[in-house]
Amino acid sequence: MTMIVRETSPDNIESLFSALDGPLTSNANFYIRDHFPAPNLDRGEWRLRVEGAVERPLEFSYEDLKKFPMTKHTALLECAGNSRVFLSPKTEGVQWELGAVGCAEWTGISLSTLLEQAGVQQDAVDVVLEGADEGVPEKSSKPKGNIHYARSLPLARARGPEVLLAFEMNGDLLPAAHGGPVRAIVPGWYAMSSVKWLTRIVVTRRPFNGYFQTVEYTYWKEDDVLPAEQVQIGEIAVKSAIARPAMHEQIALGKDYRIFGAAWASDDAVVRVEISTDDGATWVEAKLASGPKEHAWRLWEFAWKPEKSGRYMLRSRATDSRGHTQPAEHDWNYGNYIVDHTFSIPVEVA
């Protein structure tokens, strides 16, 4: 099994990114990020409620939901804390390396279908997605009892046809570890929005300010006019990662080596990936080997023939169709999230 267990119960398990072998991550190799112990839900007894600022509060069983039109969408999930181990000085939180990211094909119904069924009221602004899992959160600023995992989406995003309530992952029933019976998939946003074990959808008349979008999963946004503001993490930043070589791999001198990895962005396509073998001093364009496919990662490769022995620092750098390129340094307004800078992968050539 190619997984790295960082914590159990709650499970925090990352893929071995060096095992990347194609456009989709298998269910067995897909990372797991839980905040509370995983609930044990029975498909037959499971219910989903839709309530709040709606004309008709509704309740659905698994079989009810399966009657709506099904769609398939390939989407990447990346944890907002992925690659945190590359931050210096060290920060709190699970010390993910490269593997808190994966790409799968999801089958389900559009969230918008249920919103239409329930009839969203005129003055609604947010859609809260709540999971069945519950517990006491980590940070000292928290409500006194147990809370459920929950996140909201602005109504416009929630209505996007790509936002799914997924039943299947890569053609199999959605595994319990990944939120089965039903989870949300919010393509293009960091995966904290893709709520697992979904049991309740609440439409609200004011922006929702739950724990997982105020105390956690926020960053500081600077502006020319306003003072700095704390805002919710949403869209995925453009990023690339080197799968092979793995860190500290030994590479043969004077032989051909295929540097290989993946790159991704939010709703935009990755249009360029560059490689540096001198820690970011000079860059050469890599070859895009798959895609573009909306919300999926693009695989890329680079033919390298190291002619001198010694230690090399490899970096990759992606650019999206809006011209956003990965920065050289971490932006500390993001704190311990959104680690999108070009970090160094050390290797030995001998």
Ligand X SMILES: Nc1nc2c(c(=O)[nH]1)N[C@H]1C(S)=C(S)[C@@H](COP(=O)(O)O)O[C@H]1N2
202 sits near Mo ion (criterion: CB under 5 A): no
Residue 262's binding partner among Mo ion, ligand X, none (Cβ under 5 to 8 angstroms by kind) is none
**322 three-class SS:** coil
77 sits near ligand X (criterion: CB under 6 A): yes
Q: Are strands 126-135 and 198-204 parallel, antiparallel or unpaired?
A: antiparallel
The candidate with the shortest Cα–Cα distance to 167, out of 73, 295, 31, 79, is 73
Rounded distance, CA 42 to CA 240, Å? 38
**Identity of the residue, 127 or 286, whose beta carbon is nearer to ligand X in the bound complex:** 127
Segment 135 to 194, residues that bind Mo ion, using CB under 5 A: 192
Minimum CB separation of residue 284 from ligand X in Å reads 32
300 sits near ligand X (criterion: CB under 6 A): no
* CA angle 91–94–100, rounded 5-degree value: 115
Q: Where does this chain touch ligand X (CB under 6 A) — which range of 48-56, 137-145, 192-200, 232-240? A: 192-200
Residue 35's binding partner among ligand X, Mo ion, none (Cβ under 5 to 8 angstroms by kind) is ligand X
Q: Where does this chain touch ligand X (CB under 6 A) — which range of 29-37, 68-76, 156-164, 250-258? A: 29-37
239 sits near Mo ion (criterion: CB under 5 A): no
Judged by CB under 6 A, which of 14, 126, 133, 268 binds ligand X? 133
219 sits near ligand X (criterion: CB under 6 A): no
How many residues make contact with ligand X (CB under 6 A)?
19
User: How many beta carbons lie within 10 A of that of residue 8, not counting itself?
Assistant: 11
Rounded distance, CA 48 to CA 182, Å? 9
Answer positive or negative: Cα dihedral of 27, 334, 201, 73. negative
94 sits near ligand X (criterion: CB under 6 A): no
Minimum CB separation of residue 52 from Mo ion in Å reads 25
Q: Which residue has the tokens 């230690």?
A: 311
The candidate with the shortest Cα–Cα distance to 238, out of 262, 205, 204, is 262
Residue 195's binding partner among Mo ion, ligand X, none (Cβ under 5 to 8 angstroms by kind) is ligand X
**Identity of the residue, 14 or 126, whose beta carbon is nearer to Mo ion in the bound complex:** 14
79 sits near Mo ion (criterion: CB under 5 A): yes
In terms of Cβ atoms closer than 10 Å to its own Cβ (0-12, 13-18, 19+), residue 323 is exposed
33 sits near Mo ion (criterion: CB under 5 A): yes
Which tokens in the block code for residue 59?
A: 């309740």
DSSP state of 84: G
Q: How many residues does the chain have?
A: 350
Residue 272's binding partner among ligand X, Mo ion, none (Cβ under 5 to 8 angstroms by kind) is none
Q: Which residue has the tokens 């994966």?
A: 102
Give the residue nearest to ligand X (CB): 131
32 sits near ligand X (criterion: CB under 6 A): yes
Residue 133's binding partner among ligand X, Mo ion, none (Cβ under 5 to 8 angstroms by kind) is ligand X
- The strand order across the sheet containing 345-349 reads 250-251, 345-349, 310-320, 270-276, 284-285
Q: Where does this chain touch ligand X (CB under 6 A) — which range of 25-33, 64-72, 253-261, 269-277? A: 25-33
31 sits near ligand X (criterion: CB under 6 A): yes
**Identity of the residue, 79 or 318, whose beta carbon is nearer to Mo ion in the bound complex:** 79
Judged by CB under 6 A, which of 24, 29, 34, 326 binds ligand X? 34
> Are the C-beta atoms of residues 98 and 3 closer than 8 Å to each other?
no
Conformational region of residue 31, where left means phi above 0, alpha means psi within -120 to 50, and beta covers everything else: beta
**Identity of the residue, 157 or 178, whose beta carbon is nearer to ligand X in the bound complex:** 178
> Are the C-beta atoms of residues 313 and 346 closer than 8 Å to each other?
yes
76 sits near ligand X (criterion: CB under 6 A): no
Residue 28 is which amino acid? A
Q: Where on the chain is the footprint of Mo ion (CB under 5 A)?
A: 33, 79, 192
Q: Where on the chain is the footprint of ligand X (CB under 6 A)?
A: 30-35, 77, 79, 131, 133, 149, 178-179, 191-192, 194-197
